[in-house]
Structures are given as structure tokens and as C-alpha cells.
Chain A
């Protein structure tokens, strides 16, 4: 179990981490999600022991790590650029951590073969690093960080430099391998879809603090504030007092809220041309744009009398731009934001 207590750090003057408290359980994959510069990589580097001048405490199973250097921690760390050793073969890369632990050569051979099989690169041992594709490099880097059986695995945007198609398949594989190894993992990414797919819990970070810590399902359905909601890609964010439509939602669904309270109309709770539900509030609008995404179309609807745009999903073909449509918002779609 990894515990961070009041973790703080500043680069020269700029504060990069501000009193972060976090606990990662064994067998858990925790994602640090946030825009670049939010402090997630700094946090990772502090835990790895690569940054030593931090405030607060890093505890592993209750033991303070401040006095142990990076090479003494026995953690695994996977870099975005993989950081493979260019002058060594695949085998020597994976064996590197084992050799530092003075493992017997025969055991090293067995362990490396096992790791190669596990990441689907059986027989790649003698290959040169320069001859590998991006996906293969990623697997070697994973095998290298897992080979010494670390107590904690850290991954810094491990899929960031791969193309989209490869990312989806590798994300799943990565989750299976990490879960299979039964270890505690810290996974840094700026892509919320990747975080949803991989994480047991997600910590959304911004400006050096954790804004929200939740399971992926809860995070998606209940982003805590406007920043988090916008970072997760939501856009229907308003204040109750904004216009007639929002005031109607306010009166009917959340009469106790204040006019200045921000809220999100979750796109999953918006329906088009289905104003049969008496519990919903309906309004007509004009289709301003319609982007076909495959399984659904992302539709932006403009309501001229309110001066308001709503974004939602349509699963009925690809609605034509300019058409008139009835929008109905149910009570469940309203999420109060802090």
C-alpha cells in the first residue's frame, strides 16, 4: 500500500504539488489524470525517488521512503519514450534490473524468457532495440519494469507515443498484465478515455492538487466541478439563472439551488424528438452541427430564444444540419457542480 501525506513540491518558485494526500491499495491501478503541467509527472517522480526535495511523506506499507534513493526502492517505472537502453539487446534490457539485484544468470535467463512470453514477444531476446516497432518497444519497456517483480509499478503516459489503433488494444493488455501481476500501480495519463479503460480509481489533478478521486464510472457520471467536467470533455455547463430554459430546469428539478450555481446537463440524459416523457423539460432547437462518430453522432443544438447551445448524442442516423428538433432533459441529466 502506497500512502502520500501532504505531498508538496516547487520547481524554483513555481508550485507543482500542493498538499496531495493519496492512498493506493495493493492490486489497485490508480490513474493520475490531468492536463500537462498539473503535477502528475512530478508526483510520479517523487514516488520513484527521482526528485528528493519534496515536502510531506511518501510511505510504502507504512515505511517512510525519504531516505532511500531511487535505485534502492525496487519500483518499476515505465517512461513515455520507453527509455530503452539503445546499446543493449532486448534480453539485456529486460535483464538489467535482475542483474542489479545479483540474480543468478540461469534464473535471469528463465525470468526474461517468461517476461517475453507474457508480453507476447517470445523469441525476441537477441533483437536489437533499434529494430523494434513502437508497440514492441512498449512491450519491452513493460517487461523490463515488471521483470524484477516490483512492489509498485509506475507508468508515465505509457501509450502516449503510440498511434490510436495500437493504444486501444495495448491498454487492455496492459490492464490484464498489471492485474495478473497483482501489484499496486500508478498510471499517469492526460487522456480520460485511456484512464476510464485502465483505472480502478482515477485522481483528476489540476494545478498541483487532486480535484476529484473516484471510480471511472462515478467520475464520468458525476464530475465534481466545472474544471473537472470540462477536462473530461463535457460542455453543457451553465448557471441556473442564465436564461428561461435553465431557470425552468432549476425550478422543476433543483429548487433549493442558487441562481449562481453551476450545473452540467450530462449528454447521456438528453433525448431528441422524444418529448413523450412528462417528467422531462422539452424545448425546440435548431441543429447547428452534426458530427458523425460511428456509433453515434455528436449533435449541437442551438436554441435561439435562449441564446444557448447544447451538445448531445444522437443514435438515430446522422441528423441533418439546420433541421428543427425537440430536446428533452430529464432530472437525472442535471449534475450540480461545485
Chain B
């Protein structure tokens, strides 16, 4: 073996230790509380979970709302994907990339956005009241299942759209043209050709959307309330309101088992998707007939209405007062409202969030990059480590937060009262994004390029400085931006671990929404817009880096 080279592997202890301390240890603590709350094996919490109609109902409702959200998302995305894959029109790729904006938007912001559009105090109600001189609230969607489902569609529409569009585009037109020549009409084309061909993408997208909506927390908590509690929300209530830790742990374990079952299904379906994509032949054609123009316009307007009107409503609601620009909502952020659940002025949370996001980004980069090098390396355990490092991504934020609460509040690791617990929890959620951004670029560096540098005299450190880091810079920038945005918007885990003075923007918005007063509502609007701007900037930066990256490699 070459001299000196082996000490490099010490650095791999960083991601492994981090995972062991802050992922597996909390998970074990949950297992411990769920299975042996008093030090010996005690399955009573589980038995109660399985025999109480209420908890069984919660589980079934979680499945039901996920199934409903998934069905609606697919139903709406399918025709849009058809139009996107078949027609060429100006601004298509821009719209397709803008449609993924929800992916980086925090749940509190989206909840606020939909409340400002179709909520009790929303623009739609204002409009209807003014138009028809009503003295009641015509649209009553807050605290209904309907608004939860609508927001789930908002979040997952772009994922389904992208998967189906790219799959359909890659299918080519051969089968369809053959069927047409054999005498198939439009109806038989859908029944015999298009739907059967899109089925793998439909299933794969469906599984992904189901998984996301199954673990949905913020949306359900804020817009649904306890009446529509899912497993996630129930874990939160059991921990924070009822302090029934064994039940929360039992629910968490049920949740973990369900997610891993879903993950397995998704991975299986995903494999079928990858083998099918091969002959990427463009099937686009220009829009000609009035019918086609109608289709394309319809899709564009629908996507705009679904994805952007809520955000515009939020901005309008926060800055306009009777049609005039009014920034008083923002000025009010420096005041803490009387009798509020908050202990600080809302604006102070911005400093908190920025500080935590910067620290989390640094930690996520350090851990994510060493992890990427470890996975990309040809070491024996790289194949084993890859899925291991992705586990936090598949674990719900609420489970992570709950795990922190039960594991890190006593020696040997007592972080419960330290602000450090927040950036640590954010790092756990954010570092897989760094890995996913850096790893593809790292794998794209041909081994011969690195060997060429070595033969030309580059020592291991030179190799990192002159070859790896410059070639990875774009991936690192994307990963860092992701980590920052994720940390800024993280809600589920933060709600568990944030303390009085260390609350972050999303937690503050949640508290403000919970306050009955109009002043709090206005502060929530302003805070949401601030967070929206931060996350949207992150999104623009990520997309720009990605687009520029295509031409260069």
C-alpha cells in the first residue's frame, strides 16, 4: 500500500458518527420507549394502539387522505403531462421548472398562502362578499379535508407532471402511429395505447406522491387541525399536548414501518421505470388547430392558477390594504403581541433562522461531502453506506424531532436546552440533499482524469484542490443552497426542539396562526412573505446553477 494514503479514511468517521448519534440513537430511544416504557418489555401501548378504534381510525384516515391526494394529483397531472409531452410552445421548459417551486416552499408558507387565497379572511371571500354584497363568509374551507387535499395537490403536482412528461416523451410515437394506421380512433388510442404505456410512470409517481402525503405534517396540522389528525399530527399531539410518550413512540414505530413498506414499493416501481426509458425520441409538435391552442392555454392557465395564485394572494394580502400599498404588517414584526405564545418579537426569529441555516449549511456540507466521497469511493462498504445515509430522508421530520426530544434530553447527550439541537436536526434533514447534489458530479469525473493528475505529480491534497473541488463546485453550490433553503423552512422537527428564545421563522408563523387576533394574522402574513422570498431566491439560484451546468458537462 502507498504511504500516507490510509489516514484519509479517518474523515469518514464524521458522517458515520453523526448518523449514529443523531439518527440511530434517537430512533433506538423511540423503540425503547415504545416497547419498554418502564424498563421491561411492555407491549401495552401497541395493544392499545391496535385495539382502540380512535387510533385505528387515525391510521386509516392517514391512508385515506393520502390515497385521495394521490388520486387527485394524478388525475390533474395526467392531461397536463400529455400536453407537455406532445406540444411545443413558448415558455414550456420555464413553466416546467417553475412548477417545481413548491418543492422548496415551507409548509407554513404554503398554508398561509392558501389561507390568504381561499381561507376565511382570503381574497376569494373578500371578492365574493364585495361582488354579491354578502354579509357572511361564502367559502368555508379552513379546517376541512378539502383544503388539505388541495394543498397536497399543490405540493405534488409538479413531481407527477415531471415523471409522466419525461416518460411519455421517451416513449416515442411508434406504437401510437401503428395503432392509428390499424384503424384506432382517439378513444381506443387512450384505452389501448396511451394509458397502458404510461402505466409504469403513473404507478411510480403515484407511489412517490402517496409516500409524501402519507407523511404530511405541517399542512395537516395547520389547515386540518386535530379533527383530521394523521399519524404525524397524532405523534405531535401525544408528545406535546398529552405527554403520552409510549403512545407517541408506538405511533412513530407504526409510521416508520409504513414508510419503509412504501419505500420498498416505490423502489420496485422505480426500477420498472428506468428500464423503460431508453429511446429518447422527441414527440413534440407545434400547436396548430384551435382545439390544440385551447388545450395548451387551458393547461398553462390551470398550472398558473394552482401554483402561483396562492403565492400572489399571500404577497398581496400582506402588502395591500384596501387596494393601497401598506407595509404596516412588516413594521409590526418588531413588536411582540400582548398575551402571545411567543416570547420574542417575530423579527428576532429571522436572525435565529439565518444563524441556524448558516450553521446547518456548514455542517450539512461537511457531512454530505465526506459522505459523497465515501459512497463514490470503491471501498467495500460504499454500496452498504449509500442507502444507510439516505435513511434520514425517508424518515419523517416529526419522528426525528420526537426522537430528539426523548433521546437528547438526558446525559450522556443533553442538548435539550441548547440551541445547537436545532441546527443538528436541520443538518440531519439537509445533508442528504448535499449528497444527492454532489454525488452525480463526483461520479461523473472519469477515473482517468484523476489518474492523469496523479501521474503528473498531484499529491492527494492537490488532487482535491485542483481537480475534485473545481469540478464539483456547481454541485456543491446547489447542495449548499438546498441545505440553506431546507433549514430555513424546516418545520416538523423544529416544532419539537425549538425553545422559547431560539424559535425559527416557521415556528413563529405557526404560533402566530394559532393566535386568534387579527394583529397576529397580519404578522404571520408578513413573516410568510419574508420566508417565501428567501426560499424562492434559493430555488432560483438552484435552477440557474443547474441550467448552466447542462451546457458545460
Contact digits for A264-285, partner B, Cβ 8 Å, 1 yes 0 no = 0000000000000000000000
A87 to chain B, nearest CB (A): 5
Interface centre among B3, B448, B452, B462 (most CB of A within 10 A): B452
B432 to chain A, nearest CB (A): 26
Question: Is B457's CB under 8 angstroms from A148's CB?
Answer: yes
Question: Is B470's CB under 8 angstroms from A148's CB?
Answer: no
Task: Verify if A101 is at the interface (C-beta below 8 Å from B).
Answer: yes
Please give, as numbers and ranges, the residues of chain B lying within 8 Å of A100 by CB-CB distance.
Answer: 456-459, 462
Interface residues of B in 432-462 (CB under 8 A from A): 446, 448-449, 451-459, 462
Of B3, B446, B471, B552, which is within 8 A of A83 by CB?
Answer: B446
A63 to chain B, nearest CB (A): 16
A77 to B448, CA, bound (A): 10
A86 to B446, CA, bound (A): 11
Please give, as numbers and ranges, the residues of chain B lying within 8 Å of A84 by CB-CB distance.
Answer: 449, 452
Question: Is B453's CB under 8 angstroms from A96's CB?
Answer: yes
A331 to B3, CA, bound (A): 59
Question: Is B2's CB under 8 angstroms from A97's CB?
Answer: no
Task: Verify if B1 is at the interface (C-beta below 8 Å from A).
Answer: yes
> When A69-B2, A96-B466 are in contact, do A79 and B454 touch as well, CB less than 8 Å?
no
Question: Is A70's CB under 8 angstroms from B454's CB?
Answer: yes
Contact digits for A203-221, partner B, Cβ 8 Å, 1 yes 0 no = 0000000000000000000
B446 to chain A, nearest CB (A): 6
Task: Verify if B467 is at the interface (C-beta below 8 Å from A).
Answer: yes
Measured CB to CB, the nearest residue on chain B to A70 is: B454
A148 to chain B, nearest CB (A): 7
> When A83-B446, A96-B466 are in contact, do A50 and B456 touch as well, CB less than 8 Å?
no
A200 to chain B, nearest CB (A): 23
A217 to B471, CA, bound (A): 46
Of B1, B458, B553, which is within 8 A of A71 by CB?
Answer: B458
Question: Is A83's CB under 8 angstroms from B454's CB?
Answer: no
Of B454, B457, B471, which is within 8 A of A50 by CB?
Answer: B454
Question: Is A97's CB under 8 angstroms from B451's CB?
Answer: no
Please give, as numbers and ranges, the residues of chain B lying within 8 Å of A74 by CB-CB distance.
Answer: 457
Number of A interface residues in the complex (CB < 8 A)? 31
Task: Verify if A144 is at the interface (C-beta below 8 Å from B).
Answer: yes
A115 to B457, CA, bound (A): 18
Question: Is B455's CB under 8 angstroms from A73's CB?
Answer: yes
A145 to chain B, nearest CB (A): 8
> When A86-B553, A96-B466, A100-B457 are in contact, do A67 and B3 touch as well, CB less than 8 Å?
yes
Please give, as numbers and ranges, the residues of chain A lying within 8 Å of B467 by CB-CB distance.
Answer: 85
> When A69-B2, A77-B451, A81-B448 are in contact, do A87 and B471 touch as well, CB less than 8 Å?
yes
Question: Is B451's CB under 8 angstroms from A86's CB?
Answer: no
A71 to B462, CA, bound (A): 10
A162 to B222, CA, bound (A): 63
Interface residues of B in 456-479 (CB under 8 A from A): 456-459, 462, 466-467, 470-471
A264 to B470, CA, bound (A): 56
Question: Is A144's CB under 8 angstroms from B456's CB?
Answer: yes
Please give, as numbers and ranges, the residues of chain A lying within 8 Å of B552 by CB-CB distance.
Answer: 86, 130
A79 to B456, CA, bound (A): 12
Question: Is B455's CB under 8 angstroms from A52's CB?
Answer: no
B215 to chain A, nearest CB (A): 40
Question: Is A101's CB under 8 angstroms from B470's CB?
Answer: no
Task: Verify if A75 is at the interface (C-beta below 8 Å from B).
Answer: yes
Measured CB to CB, the nearest residue on chain B to A95 is: B456
> When A81-B448, A85-B467, A86-B471 are in contact, do A76 and B455 touch as well, CB less than 8 Å?
yes
Interface residues of A in 47-84 (CB under 8 A from B): 48-50, 52-53, 67, 69-77, 79-81, 83-84
> When A52-B2, A81-B448 are in contact, do A71 and B454 touch as well, CB less than 8 Å?
yes
Q: At the interface, is chain B mostly helix, strand, loop or mixed?
A: helix
Question: Is A83's CB under 8 angstroms from B2's CB?
Answer: no
Q: At the interface, is chain A mostly helix, strand, loop or mixed?
A: loop
A70 to B457, CA, bound (A): 7
A145 to B449, CA, bound (A): 13
A95 to chain B, nearest CB (A): 10
Please give, as numbers and ranges, the residues of chain B lying within 8 Å of A52 by CB-CB distance.
Answer: 1-2
A172 to B458, CA, bound (A): 31
A194 to B245, CA, bound (A): 76
Please give, as numbers and ranges, the residues of chain A lying within 8 Å of B455 by CB-CB distance.
Answer: 48-50, 70-71, 73, 75-77, 145
Please give, as numbers and ranges, the residues of chain A lying within 8 Å of B453 by CB-CB distance.
Answer: 85, 96
Question: Is A79's CB under 8 angstroms from B457's CB?
Answer: no
> When A71-B457, A101-B457, A144-B456 are in contact, do A79 and B462 touch as well, CB less than 8 Å?
no
Measured CB to CB, the nearest residue on chain B to A94 is: B456
Please give, as numbers and ranges, the residues of chain B lying within 8 Å of A79 by CB-CB distance.
Answer: 448, 451-452
Please give, as numbers and ranges, the residues of chain B lying within 8 Å of A97 by CB-CB distance.
Answer: 456-457
Measured CB to CB, the nearest residue on chain A to B462 is: A100
Please give, as numbers and ranges, the residues of chain A lying within 8 Å of B3 by CB-CB distance.
Answer: 67, 69
Question: Is A87's CB under 8 angstroms from B470's CB?
Answer: yes
Contact digits for B113-148, partner A, Cβ 8 Å, 1 yes 0 no = 000000000000000000000000000000000000
A271 to B3, CA, bound (A): 62
A130 to B459, CA, bound (A): 26
Measured CB to CB, the nearest residue on chain B to A52 is: B2
Question: Is B449's CB under 8 angstroms from A85's CB?
Answer: yes
A80 to B471, CA, bound (A): 21
Please give, as numbers and ranges, the residues of chain B lying within 8 Å of A71 by CB-CB distance.
Answer: 454-459, 462
A154 to chain B, nearest CB (A): 8
A45 to chain B, nearest CB (A): 8
A78 to chain B, nearest CB (A): 9
B524 to chain A, nearest CB (A): 46
B167 to chain A, nearest CB (A): 31
A282 to chain B, nearest CB (A): 55
Please give, as numbers and ranges, the residues of chain B lying within 8 Å of A73 by CB-CB distance.
Answer: 455
A96 to B553, CA, bound (A): 21
Please give, as numbers and ranges, the residues of chain A lying within 8 Å of B5 by CB-CB distance.
Answer: 69
Question: Is A83's CB under 8 angstroms from B458's CB?
Answer: no
Contact digits for A32-55, partner B, Cβ 8 Å, 1 yes 0 no = 000000000000000011101100
Please give, as numbers and ranges, the residues of chain A lying within 8 Å of B462 by CB-CB distance.
Answer: 71, 100
> When A83-B446, A100-B458 are in contact, do A70 and B451 touch as well, CB less than 8 Å?
yes
A308 to chain B, nearest CB (A): 47
Interface residues of A in 78-120 (CB under 8 A from B): 79-81, 83-87, 96-97, 100-101
Q: What are 12 A-B pairs at a CB distance below 8 A?
A: A53-B1, A71-B457, A75-B455, A77-B452, A79-B452, A81-B446, A85-B449, A87-B471, A96-B458, A100-B462, A130-B552, A144-B452
Chain A residues engaging chain B, CB cutoff 8 angstroms:
48-50, 52-53, 67, 69-77, 79-81, 83-87, 96-97, 100-101, 130, 144-145, 148
Chain B residues engaging chain A, CB cutoff 8 angstroms:
1-3, 5, 446, 448-449, 451-459, 462, 466-467, 470-471, 552-553
| Given A49-B455, A100-B456, 7 other A-B residues pairs in contact with their CB atoms under 8 A | A50-B454, A67-B3, A69-B2, A70-B454, A74-B457, A87-B470, A148-B457
